[in-house]
Amino acid sequence: MGIEKLIRKDLLAFGGYSAATAPETLEGKIKVATKDIIKLDANENPYGCSPRVNKALSQYKQFNIYPDDGQEKLRKLLAGYVDIDASYIVAGNGSNQLIDLLIRLLVSKSDEVINCTPTFGIYSFSTKLCGGTLVEIPRDNDFNIDIARVKSAVNKKTKIIFIANPNNPTGNLTPKKDIIELLGTGVSVVVDEAYYEFSRQTVLPLMKKYKNLIVLRTFSKWAGLAGLRVGYGLFPPGIADFILRIKIPYNVNVAATTAVAESLKDIGYLMASVQKLIAERKRLFTRLQRIGWLKVYPSQANFILCRVLNMEAKELYKRLQVEGILVRYFDQPRIKDCIRISVSKPEHTDALIKALRSKSLRQNRRMDK
Ligand SMILES: *Cc1c(COP(=O)(O)O)cnc(C)c1O
């Protein structure tokens, strides 16, 4: 054995993050051409980014120059968008990076992080990577958080409570009064509002009163910038200042910075896409509900979780992949028998429904309503 023996012992069992499938990796493995793959597995925006972004990037002349490490202009623009002082804001290479930075800032070995499962994978990923202890509080059958149990799990070692709101992959919201109750514990509460533009629910106004509240947002979903990696966090200024200190220099690149500036000049265009997706969410929900062998969960985000009632969810995921339709499957307790479907264009909904009702899935037909 070579230098592998030097790897941290606590990381030997670390499984990594199971990310969405990149369509190009399926080339030659399925009959469908890469360009025809319907990607419903990563909650990306099928309408793309603002055309202003493409134009500005094609004309950008300073890719040879490092970005501003202090993100001054970017933070000011974000401050205008969210209507808060720039001293609260830090931008990241995706909001994932801010989750990671916050955990690194607060969580030492044997400190605890409370996670309300099933939920977004990065909270546990970064906690484990930092050597922190994950305390998992399962959600109820409708995926609501058991607030009393979370509160009773808080102790001297607890550093963070994570709440994705709406939750990924379940799509449901946690009521504001519940979040206020958790804020009352005094530990830091991260409310991840990655899907805010779809749910229109935010706890941002609570930031003035509660100095332990952190809100995360991203441009990956509503603004169609997932590939450029840019998100932001709203932290109490004393924390924001520290996050800026511990982050890798130049973490948000100039393309992403330019893309944010252009997106914020084109909010009307982007929100029209969001509106189309919200309308399509309703249509997709109704169409899925008519399939008798799926239990469909209501969603306030741009995806819908379905429990697969009469075959392995993994099998359905594979069969759809053969047809060139990518959905998300999770090999996790409680949602092992579920798939998550991103809301996309109407023609993609139609193709998905057709595939779900097709011959290759025939054994399920008799259960259709
Ligand atoms: C998609 C998503 C994010 C966004 O991650 P980025 O790194 O900004 O692309 C954050 N939180 C949740 C819950 C998400 O679903």
Q: Kindly state if the Cβ of 164 falls inside 6 Å of ligand 1.
A: yes
CB distance 231 to ligand 1 below 6 Å: yes
Atom nearest to 220 CA in ligand 1: 9
Q: Which residue has the higher pLDDT, 29 or 288?
A: 288
Pocket test for ligand 1, best of 116, 220, 253 (most atoms within 8 A of CB): 220
From the CA of 343, how far away is ligand 1's center (Å)?
16
Q: Is 226 in the pocket of ligand 1 (CB under 6 A)?
A: yes
> Which tens digits make up the pLDDT trace of 245-293?
999 999 999 999 999 999 999 999 999 999 999 999 999 999 999 999 9
- Ligand 1 atom nearest residue 230's Cα: 8
User: pLDDT tens across 307-360, in order?
Assistant: 999 899 999 999 999 999 999 999 888 999 999 999 999 999 999 999 999 977
Average pLDDT over residues 152-175: 98
Both ends of the chain: CA-CA distance in Å?
A: 59
The residue-averaged pLDDT of 207-234 equals 98
Q: Whose CA is nearest to atom 10 of ligand 1?
A: 194
Phi and psi at residue 296, to the nearest 5°: -105, 130
Per the CB < 8 A criterion, the answer to whether 261 and 214 are in contact is no
Which pLDDT value is given to residue 18?
84
Rounded Cα distance, 361 and 307, in Å: 16
Per DSSP, 20 falls in state: P
pLDDT of 365 over the 80 cut: no
85-112 in b/e burial notation, b at 16+ Cβ within 10 A? ebebbbbbbbbbbbbbbbbbbbbeeebb
Task: With CA atoms as reference, report the closest residue to 258 among 99, 63, 44, 88.
Answer: 63
Q: What confidence score (pLDDT) does residue 359 get?
A: 75
Q: What are phi and psi of 131, to 5 degrees?
A: 80, 15
Tell me the C-alpha distance between 305 and 139, whole Å.
15
Q: What is the CA radius of gyration of the chain?
A: 21
Output phi, psi for 41, to 5 deg: -120, 0
In the chain, where do the E strands start and end? 38-39, 89-92, 112-117, 133-138, 158-164, 188-192, 213-218, 231-234, 294-296, 303-308, 325-326, 328-329, 338-342
Counting from 1 in the atom list of ligand 1, the atom nearest the Cα of 301 is 15
How much is the pLDDT for 362?
A: 55
Q: Is the CB–ligand 1 distance for residue 302 below 6 Å?
A: no
What is the whole-number distance in angstroms between the Cα of residue 224 and the centre of ligand 1? 12
Does the structure show a pLDDT above 90 at 28? no
What is the mean predicted confidence (pLDDT) over 101-113? 96
**Fold for the domain defined by 51-266:** Aspartate Aminotransferase; domain 2 (3.40.640)
Q: Is the CB of 168 under 6 A from ligand 1?
A: yes
Give the Å distance between the CA of 71 and the centre of ligand 1.
20
Mean pLDDT within 184-205: 98
pLDDT per residue over 76-94, tens digit each? 999 999 999 999 999 999 9
How far is 281 from 328, CA to CA, in rounded Å?
16
Cβ–ligand 1 distance for 192 under 6 Å, the answer yes
- CB of 95 closer than 6 angstroms to any ligand 1 atom: yes
Mean pLDDT of the region 123-143: 96
Q: Mean pLDDT, the chain, as a whole number?
A: 95
Residue whose CA lies nearest to ligand 1 atom number 7: 94
Atom of ligand 1 nearest to the CA of 231: 8
> Cα angle at 228 between 223 and 124, to 5 degrees?
90
Q: Answer whether residue 236 shows pLDDT above 90.
A: yes
Closest ligand 1 atom, CA of 120? 13
Percentage of the chain exceeding pLDDT 70: 98
Tell the CATH superfamily of the 2-48+268-361 domain.
Answer: Aspartate Aminotransferase, domain 1 (3.90.1150.10)
- Whether ligand 1 lies within 6 angstroms of the CB of 94 is answered as yes
> How many other CB atoms are found less than 10 A from the CB of residue 23?
19
| Residue pLDDT, tens place only, 31-47 | 999 999 999 999 999 99
Residue written as token pair 């009521």: 175
Q: Write down the pLDDT at residue 363.
A: 58
- What residues form DSSP beta bridges with 232? 91, 217
Q: Is beta strand 188-192 parallel, antiparallel or unpaired with respect to 158-164?
A: parallel
CB 278 within 8 A of CB 198: yes
Average pLDDT rounded to a whole number, residues 51-67:
98
Do 357 and 161 contact (CB within 8 A), yes or no? no
Count of beta carbons in the 10 Å neighbourhood of residue 238: 9
With a 6 Å cutoff on the Cβ, whether 114 touches ligand 1 is: no
pLDDT value for 281:
98
Q: Is 132 helix (H, G, I), strand (E, B) or coil?
A: coil
The residue whose CA has the least distance to atom 1 of ligand 1 is 194
Q: Tell me the average pLDDT across 48-62.
A: 98
Residues in the chain: 369
Kindly give the number of the ligand 1 atom that is closest to the alpha carbon of 119.
Answer: 13
Atom 11 of ligand 1, nearest CA residue: 194
Q: Does the CB atom of residue 218 touch ligand 1 within 6 A?
A: yes
For residue 166, what pLDDT band results from cuts at 50, 70 and 90?
very high
Pocket test for ligand 1, best of 93, 168, 342 (most atoms within 8 A of CB): 168
The closest of 254, 280, 232 to 79, measured between CA atoms, is 232
Please report, for the chain, the start and end positions of each structural domain, with discontinuous segments joined by +.
2-48+268-361, 51-266
- Tell me, what's the pLDDT at 1? 74
